Structure 1
Amino acid sequence: MNNTGMAKIALIDSHPLMRECISNYLSGSDYAITLQVDDGKELIEQLTMENVPDVCLLEFNARSKTGYETIKMLRSAWPNMKIAIYSMQTGPVENKTPSGADVIIPDQTSIAAFKSTLDNLIQQ
């Protein structure tokens, strides 16, 4: 967490509307959204020691680099970063195991459960 006590989140989603909605919701819930990008490739390019988030929130099917590729790269370069994945595509993201993520958020999750899952992940 940063010095304000807010957890830092990097958000990867290739859908600008979803990215903005999630960002606005989490920003109003004591999270600091430090990076917002379209795909894993863009995230990897922008990550530095100064802006490493506590959690990477990854839309699993973001374009350019799939969730598997992104997670593998993050685990290698930033092993302490927590990773939460979700997918808005038809079919449960749970079938995409083993993903390497710390938590998988099913597409049927309510916004309250979504936040609760992130809260629990950060407390781990």
Structure 2
Amino acid sequence: MLKTNAGVAYVDDHILLRNGLANLFRGLETYAILFEANNGKDFIKQLQPRYLPDIALQDINMPERDGYETALWLKRSYPGIKILVLSMYDNEHSIMRMMKNCAKGYILKDIDPMQFRRALDSLVRKGFYYSELITGKLIHAVSQLDEPDEPIKNIVSLNAREIDFLKLVCSEMTYKEIAEKMFLSARTIDGYRDALFEKLNVKSRVGLVLFAIKNNIVNV
């Protein structure tokens, strides 16, 4: 169990859902809603630099300033606030766009309370939360993309073999299949993966995929 309370700002224009989440949070001793906002504009207005929330739990479809714009603003203004998306959208475009805007987690509004708690805990402990559904959709979307026509630039810390590995990670292939594709042993591929985790400061395959997207190793 987490010992330190984490402050949450909840941003959603659906009042009934906000009320329901507020009741749920009352049963979570380690989390507290600092404030609620109707949309991104209202959220930004209520932010106080000296009392920032640890987590911004936000919807995507909102009036005035939607979730995409709000996440991008947070990325530039307060990157320390972890964004957890709570949305009805389960399409690959919405997921990938929010991930590119530095959302650290993505859950659907039909999530059960136990999984919701696990998402919050993972966000605080690990810094991210990606369910199997979201991971599968993200990797599937990237696997449909064309490789870039231009040579990779501005990634001086990666050699050609590591870039080849990253491209294959952005597919639906297993690590075993990647090893066979690259004519390497499974143990060597594990070494590539762990070395990139450390070099790129990521903790999961999704983190590798997001790095590849943001650095144009694969095109969105």
- Gap change, CA 1:65 and 1:22, over 3 Å in 2: same
Higher Rg of the two aligned structures? 2
- Gap change, CA 1:63 and 1:93, over 3 Å in 2: farther
Structure 2-normalised TM-score? 0.51
Structure 2 equivalent of residue 95 of structure 1: 93
Structure 1-normalised TM-score? 0.87
Structure 2 equivalent of residue 69 of structure 1: 69
Distance 1:112 1:95 in 2: 27
Structure 2 equivalent of residue 111 of structure 1: 113
Which 5+ residue runs of structure 1 have no aligned equivalent? none
Q: After TM superposition, give the deviation of residue 81 of structure 1 in Å.
A: 0.6
- Gap change, CA 1:94 and 1:103, over 3 Å in 2: farther
Between 102-111 and 113-122, report the one with greater CA deviation.
102-111
Q: After TM superposition, give the deviation of residue 5 of structure 1 in Å.
A: 2.0
Distance 2:110 2:91 in 1: 10
Higher relative contact order (CA 8 A, sep 6+): 1
Percentage of pairs with the same residue: 31
Structure 1 outlier segments of 4+, above 4 Å: none
Q: After TM superposition, give the deviation of residue 71 of structure 1 in Å.
A: 0.2
Q: After TM superposition, give the deviation of residue 108 of structure 1 in Å.
A: 3.7
Q: 1:21-41 deviations in whole A, cap 9, x for unaligned? A: 112211320211101010010
Structure 1 equivalent of residue 20 of structure 2: 21
Cα RMSD of the aligned pairs, angstroms, is 1.6
Contact 1:93 1:104 in 2 (8 A): no
Structure 2 equivalent of residue 86 of structure 1: 86
Contact 1:12 1:59 in 2 (8 A): yes
Q: Which amino acid aligns with 1:75?
A: K
Q: After TM superposition, give the deviation of residue 51 of structure 1 in Å.
A: 2.2
Question: Could you say what secondary structure the match of 2:8 adopts?
Answer: strand
